[in-house]
Amino acid sequence: MQVDLSELRALVTGSTKGIGFAIAQKLAASGAAVAVNGRKAADVEAALDRIGAAVTTATLVAAPGDVATACGVAAVIKAVGDVDILVNNVGIFEIKDACEIPDDDWQRMFETNVLSGVRLTRHYGPRMRDKGFGRIIFVSSVLVTKTSIETNRENTRDKSKPK
């Protein structure tokens, strides 16, 4: 089913590759003007080129910035302007034993995986409410249901032995 989003503007965080890229490309194919976000401007430009080649009618906006920081969020908001659809997709994960992850790593994961979405939602949510329309989507992974101890054990398990 093709949905017409031609009057809407979207921001997809972490959209230079992976699931975020696929979401941004699909939104563009559905007619939305899409802001592509990544930490590095070069990665954002490369993603814009790839989406533009696949969706020749796409309206795309470069939104480089590290949304794990308040300054990065401010830079993205300035580049993007108002949106109707916010997809909080950015996320990081490291395969480490949860009992051995230092505080700095926990803080970086929290800033990226939680506060990026909180900051953007705090900015765009009231605007969407005031205009009577908007969508905020949080994308996550099955890894949020597992401790890093379990994940580390699975990734280091001898694959030749049955579970």
Please give the model's pTM, rounded to 2 decimal places: 0.85
- Is 120 within 8 Å of 132 (Cβ atoms)? no
State percent of the chain over pLDDT 70.
85
5 Cβ neighbours under 8 A, 6+ residues apart? 27, 30, 31, 32, 85
> Closest Cα to residue 22, out of 2, 51, 63?
51
The predicted structure's pLDDT at residue 61:
98
Give how far Cα 145 sits from Cα of 92, 99, 141, 142, 148, Å: 14, 17, 8, 6, 10
Question: Where do the structural domains in the chain lie, given as residue ranges?
Answer: 9-156
The predicted structure's pLDDT at residue 152:
56
Mean pLDDT, the chain, as a whole number? 90
- Give the burial class of 42: count Cβ atoms within 10 A of its Cβ; 0-12 exposed, 13-18 middle, 19 or more buried: exposed
Q: pLDDT tens digit string along 72-103? A: 999 999 999 999 999 999 998 888 888 899 99
Q: Which CATH architecture has domain 9-156?
A: 3-Layer(aba) Sandwich (3.40)
The predicted structure's pLDDT at residue 153:
57
- Is 85 within 8 Å of 31 (Cβ atoms)? no
Which pLDDT band, with edges at 50, 70 and 90, does 148 fall under?
Answer: low
| Residue 118, pLDDT above cutoff 70 | yes
How far apart (Å, rounded) are the C-alpha atoms in residues 99 and 97? 5
The predicted structure's pLDDT at residue 97:
84
Lookup: tokens for 135: 């969508």
Which amino acid is it at 131? K
Which pLDDT band, with edges at 50, 70 and 90, does 28 fall under?
Answer: very high
